[in-house]
Amino acid sequence: MLGAAFLNASWGLLACGAFVPLLGVLESAGEERRPVWNAFRTGYLFGFVFFLVGMHWIARLSDVAITVPWLKYPAWVAAASYLALYPALACALATFLSRRSGFSLAATFPCAFLMVEELRASGELGFPWFQPGYAVHAYPRLIQMASLGGVTLLTAWVLLLNVLLWRALTRRDVTGASRALAAAGFLAALLLPWAWGGQALHAADAMAAQSKAAHGAVALVQANIPGEIKWSGKHEREILDTFLELSSTAARAHPKPQLIVWPETATGTYLRRQVDQAIAVARLAADTGVPIFTGFADYSWDSLGTPHYWNAAGIFPANGSLGLRYAKRHLVPFGERMPFQRWLPMLGKIELGQAEWTPGEEPVLFSGPGGPFSCLVCFEAIFPDLARDDVRHGARMLVNITNDEWFGKSVALSQHAGMAALRAVENHVPLVRCANTGLTLLVDSSGRVRGSLPVFQAGVLAGDPGLTPEQAADESYDLRAHARRLGAR
């Protein structure tokens, strides 16, 4: 049932009861004094099914996504097999603590699960995707709790609801009074955050309506370039022309945007290293007076002459110059870089089709409408600590650029975008998300989607993510005909 909670955004509340069967099995095993190993196996089975269901989109990845297409099938099973170790460890730890301390699983399970989830999100293999708190990302009232304690607090809340529901439904209580008390607690724990979240949203809208400050309109360019064209190396000029035409149209809109954003590795080229392309982008920024922020592949050499390749992003200021550059800090393990190379450099010689980027080292603040903004490239948006670090350094808006074409039209699109939206709530800043094929979003500081574009359609989404719906002036420019013309070339 926990896997099903991630298959559709509207099914998120299923997570609030998904652990009940697991808790019942663990309790039965505890009463029979079965070995802790038994709890580990139970948790592993639970986790394997959960991740296998939730991550089914790995088996549906576009063949453009990986060098060896058939690897996606064993990768799907391998990922579920590995990630299932964490629920297994949580179940074993909860059972062990319960027996040693004398406390009920109702107390030890949430604590153990939260500790293990923090472990799962850490390090080079860190993968916080599918933390239970993310299941409710589509419920604006409920996710306001993230402003107090991040997605960890949301996960703790989901676990609390499961424990209360389990105690309300269990047949092992001595009297029905305790079950009634647990049921009342469940309803209170569900309804109180809902009511408080509504008040928080109302207060946020009231403050925005009274404030004369605005972040300024941002134009997000979703060019919808197919991967087989983008990475072929044969359509570089056509791809760039598509972005330039979309951006030129956006720059002439009213209200005029103060920043144009292109997605991750937008043109599929070393944009700032290819002089003709860099000049064309810089000229458009200078002619329109609107800075262009974009993702691109980049490279440089260190003092020893060793080349380093970056999944980068940078800005072309309105004065026609080249601005600051940011390099992605947290790379996708096995997809963008073999993990643990800093300790075992030989791992970099293993060829699984990975890009082998070099990780960046620090956040970069760019000058933008309404103050400085920082960049989260694709996968980075699922790590709360990166966004938190950016805001602590002074970012007043988060720009998430990504290329999610690999996911096709699977639920992974909404899963990925939903996690990014939580970063806005946690840090009280708006977030704009620009994707090559979607989902392209404007998200306010309360995590509400203020504008979006249909997936796999070319267009531009423009608006101010810091404004209320009444203040916002979102405009979408449908240039599907131009995209079809590119695809026919």
Helix axes 146-169, 105-120, angle to 10 degrees: 140
> In angstroms, rounded to a whole number, what is the distance separating the alpha carbons of residues 267 and 297?
9
Characterize the bridge pairing of strands 325-327 and 366-368.
unpaired
Catalytic residue among 264, 405, 426, 475: 264
Active site (annotated) includes residue 234: no
> Does an H or E element contain 478, and which?
strand 475-478
Q: Is 328 a catalytic residue?
A: yes
Q: Supply the DSSP symbol for 344.
A: -
Rounded CA-CA distance 54/60 in Å is 12
In contact, 9 and 421? CB cutoff 8 Å: no
Catalytic position from the list 16, 91, 375, 378? 378
- Helical H runs in 211-274? 227-230, 236-251
Alpha helices in 128-274 (DSSP H): 140-143, 146-169, 176-210, 227-230, 236-251
Catalytic-role residue among 328, 375, 426, 475? 328
Give me the phi and psi of 321, to 5 degrees please.
-95, -175
- 139, 187, 162: which is closest to 90 by C-alpha? 162
Strands (E), 317-386: 325-327, 366-368, 371-377
Q: What is the CA radius of gyration of the chain?
A: 24
Active site residues: 264, 328, 378
